[in-house]
Chain A
């Protein structure tokens, strides 16, 4: 998880890889992430031809299909700029699994390695590269954090998000029981093993709610859809919000657009 951060002055330009889930299911979170970056004086480039990192096929054992999708992303980031991803698992896919996926093709492998080195999960980038210093502008609130497993184990997002939230005076971060446990999403696992996945999602929703927080935060679209969908089915009003939206709202962003309660 430890990595070399870009040396020298703050980058002026970044690429934004939205991920397919954010593009289609929680676009507001993508907008908020972009605005968080722009407010730091950064030009955010959104390659129009981006689609998906290929993870659903990769983790299901369909390496050829994953490779085809991943290959379509490899040429979208020609400048030597950081690539910021508002999802720990997609960032993990590009950073750790792309080089393996192209291991047998030296040219593509070199490309994948170059890209992997530039991929940052959003909170990691805000904290470690931009060294953001924020002032909280919201009312006191209590939240709890759910970090996706690949964000945790491949990208260290749980630490980065926590540090960012610690900058916000009015935000109290509550600890859930079994914090490091998976929410049961697992991509295609959620439809292949619905009973197990549903049980895990239900336990996670309980653990988050039992903290007494006003909302939970996550930096991963998959976990958000899984847990929020579970809560909504139970007709529970407790909800999760994308970390980017929460951070944007708390630090003087327009707010309200993706307010608490909106389904991710």
Chain B
């Protein structure tokens, strides 16, 4: 069996699956249940001066029959007294000495930071996480994302923390910023031991069409929330990659957060450099038991790929993420439709004809609904394969004829790229487009 245990910036855990700071880590009761269910660690719901919350607090995007494809909240940090939280942290550590308990913290003044770090350490936490992320409520009071959006302030607070912290410090970043490297660099320069990302995305998840109030509805008003859940994963992966590849940040352990629900998501985050994984929405949706699928799947993946530890494949996808200008322009794939699997929905046809490159035609035989790929027109965009509802029916086949790689950068250097509006080198110059008359042939 592969070894799932991790040592993240000095924080040890039996596996990389941690509960992210949020409603599931609001109490010792929940965290103990979670550890019992298999979670390797938990970042406690953010501690600070307790708040008063509103009702209601959550909203979601239901994509067709999929509930909570995206999720939002306007809940603030802990509304429980600090001493209650610390007492429960101490208890959890007594029962689960080998699991990671990390205190998420958010306060204002230097004195408060120093005090709450000392208190958390006394309670026995294995690490602390600085919450510079919440994009609702707390930011209006100069905390949360208000800090994360101001790299110089962020750096100063990290420095305050590093003056006193005895346990590893993770700085949690907000994605509500134009370039994640800026707060990432500020955290690194401030001396943080690790970075976690992403916190939630500032969002309005929907509007009640009868009352015109945004969700989640609080009386006759609403406010922007923090968006998370499966829908935000691609944004999180991109930002993780930015930090994992940055020469002045990549030495720091990175904890991946954002839409992790299955083992596949977990592996993706690890492949882009995450050394631990934080999950909130999936636990809120399915309960702590969801970790069974993640652990079993991660283990099976490692067995099949012959990886013994998480470190064996951490960051393995990073060398393969490059800039557009370094992509091979001679690589060519085209779509292939398996007529034995096709069910004749013709979604690929209409997607290609209306939404892409007019490279799929309907069959001319009456009664046959299997479309045909016009190979010379197919640019290999993937759209038909993406819309096809049948597994493995449309596949993209490699038809590269020139095996020599050539990139945009190289083409530019060789003077082989279009430079004028009607340049002969235009990539789509010989691409067949049906006539304007064809567009209107069914017009009544």
Q: Is the pairing of A and B real?
A: no
